[in-house]
Amino acid sequence: MTDSATNSSTKAGANTIAEILSEPATWAKCIAALDESKDISKASATLSLDRELVFVGCGSSYYLALSAAATWSLLTGRAARAIPASEILLFPELLPRDCGTILISRSGRTSEIIEAGEYLQRQNRKSALAITCGTGTPIEGIAASTMRLPLADEKSTVMTRSFSSMLLALQLLAAEKASARDFSKGIHDLPAAVGPLVREIDSAIRPLATDQSFEDYVFLGQGPFFGIAQEAMLKVKEMSCSYAQCFHTLEFRHGPKAIVSPETLVTFFISESGFDSEVSVLEEIKDLGAATLVITNRANAAVRNSADVLIETALSVPEAARAAAFVIPGQLLGFHTGLRKGFDPDNPRNLSRVVMLQNDRGGEPSRGAA
């Protein structure tokens, strides 16, 4: 190995950037593994369309749950929601009594997820499914079945390819349950379509993050892209220790837009379903003086006029199937902003790969049984 290669492999953020750039290839491997194992069909058999489905996670896994729940409802036409694991532990009354649950944890060891699953077991409400990138982990013992994506795990602390890969697996599950073959095909086609775009996205995001400094980062999205906006917000916080916020796009008008200034970078995840309404917010915020980053599938003249940086994916897959691709610009924004500020994105300040806490609740939710 040359000295330059050695230096490259040990520089700040080397694992994180490699993992982000590897996402499409990782998706392809994970999808192929799921097809071979028939895990999607097996998991689908454990779920009922007659009950509301609750996706449970913490941190990035909760934001993943938001997008997965939105996709489930869009494809199946049935109720679904996302809940942080802590809500089950502290306010168990908020969990629907007759529901199915899916537990999401990259490591399969996150304390609050394990406690929530164990609580559900004690209530004779064993979770129908768990999804993780770990193997032989505690989460497997508290769910009827488990989908494992070990190929998507990272060396880095923050979730990048594990987030997008687990999201795609849950979207494939929704497509299977809904018999949505076009959507499933779109997910299978996504890795090859996004692969050539990743370096282009990196080239567009890098100067935005490295040449400018912002006091505030705002992320806006609707529908299946709201969870993506939340995750992009978290990546900027985790990797660069920057102040960042997230709102539903149209909700930003109702008070939060007071924060807009030239020192604010507002990132828009613009859908097709809400295109005109969301673009009107973009134009309004640009007129107020914000810097704007826009991620959308296809832009029109209004978007081009109001976007300081535009990421146009031009993917020929169903709308919600683009969610995994849309998160990549947010990951790269967090990464390059972190480097500019002197942080190591591989080892974010105050964070660890797995949140494992001592159980101070005596094994029961603070509010008692639901």
**Domain contains 3:** no
Rounded to a whole number of angstroms, the distance between the first and last alpha carbons of the chain is 59
Is the domain of 28 the same as that of 162? Answer: yes
**Domain contains 4:** no
3-state helix, strand, coil in the chain (%, to 5): 55, 15, 30
CATH (domain of 159)? 3.40.50.10490
Q: Which pair of structure tokens corresponds to residue 85?
A: 């694991």
Nearest Cα residue to 198 out of 312, 328, 336 = 328
Is the domain of 60 the same as that of 202? Answer: no
182, with CB counted inside 10 A (0-12, 13-18, 19+), is: exposed
Rounded-to-integer distance, Cα 364 and Cα 118, Å? 9
Is the domain of 213 the same as that of 120? Answer: no
**Domain contains 188:** no
Kindly state the helix (H) or strand (E) to which residue 268 belongs, with its residue range: strand 264-270
Is the domain of 71 the same as that of 126? Answer: yes
Range of the domain at 247: 196-340
pLDDT in tens, the chain (370 residues): 333 333 444 688 999 999 999 999 999 999 999 999 999 999 999 899 999 999 999 999 999 999 999 999 999 999 999 999 999 999 999 998 889 999 999 999 999 999 999 999 888 777 789 999 999 999 999 998 999 999 999 999 999 999 999 999 999 999 999 999 999 999 999 999 999 999 999 999 999 999 989 999 999 999 999 999 999 999 999 999 999 999 999 999 999 999 999 999 999 999 999 999 999 999 999 999 999 999 999 999 999 999 999 999 999 999 999 999 999 999 999 999 999 999 999 988 866 555 555 554 444 443 332 2
Is the domain of 32 the same as that of 160? Answer: yes
**Domain contains 357:** no
- Structural domain count, the chain: 2
Is the domain of 244 the same as that of 275? Answer: yes
Is the domain of 80 the same as that of 111? Answer: yes
**Domain contains 256:** yes
Is the domain of 261 the same as that of 289? Answer: yes
**Domain contains 366:** no
Is the domain of 150 the same as that of 251? Answer: no
Is the domain of 267 the same as that of 149? Answer: no
Is the domain of 171 the same as that of 204? Answer: no
